[in-house]
Amino acid sequence: MTRTVRATWDELDDLLARRPDDPRNRHVLYRTPWYLWPFVIPGMFLGAIVMLPLGVLAVLSIPYFILYPERHLHEWDIDENLGHERSMRRWRAAYARLTLLGRVCRARVLAGRRRRRARGHTQ
């Protein structure tokens, strides 16, 4: 017979603060009943099927957003200022003319500027 345990947030915080490898601190939440073990491996497999493509997509989207900044929404796109709209149109047209090598060089320059600004240096 299995007992269902409902833990409060305080009990869970206490549980996480303790060392789980100490046998005195073992809790029902750490144990998997024997009848659920057949679901563990398929659950891990299905989780991997979902998480691996999402991880690959995340790894590929980072360079895409760095190299192609004109292809996603910015704050000035939401702003209804006509000057911002003209400025964004010019900026997007200038970025559309860049080659891949030009985009990589531009991303490196901007990263260096951000790094210097974060250190407190001015341009």
- Residue that is last in its domain, among 35, 60, 85: 60
Q: Do 5 and 49 belong to one domain?
A: yes
Whether the full predicted model's pTM is greater than 0.75, yes or no, is: no
Q: Which residue, 75, 67, 76, is CA-closest to 96? A: 67
Residue 45 confidence (pLDDT) above 60: yes
Number of domains the chain contains:
2
Residue 6 confidence (pLDDT) above 70: no
Q: Do 77 and 122 belong to one domain?
A: yes
What are phi and psi for residue 33, nearest 5 degrees?
-60, 155
**Is the residue at 65 inside a domain?**
no
Q: Do 6 and 42 belong to one domain?
A: yes
- Residue that is last in its domain, among 33, 60, 87: 60
Long-range contacts of 103-106 (CB under 8 A, 24+ apart): 103/67, 103/68, 104/67
What is the residue whose two structure tokens read 């490898």?
A: 21
d(CA 92, CA 61): 19
Q: What is the pLDDT of residues 56-76, one digit of tens each?
A: 999 999 989 888 888 888 777
Q: CB burial class (10 A; 0-12, 13-18, 19+) of residue 55?
A: exposed
**Is the residue at 105 inside a domain?**
yes
Residue 13 confidence (pLDDT) above 80: no
What are phi and psi for residue 59, nearest 5 degrees?
-65, -35
**Structural domain span for residue 120:** 73-123
User: Considering only 9-13, 31-35, 50-54, 108-112, which range has the smallest mean pLDDT?
Assistant: 9-13
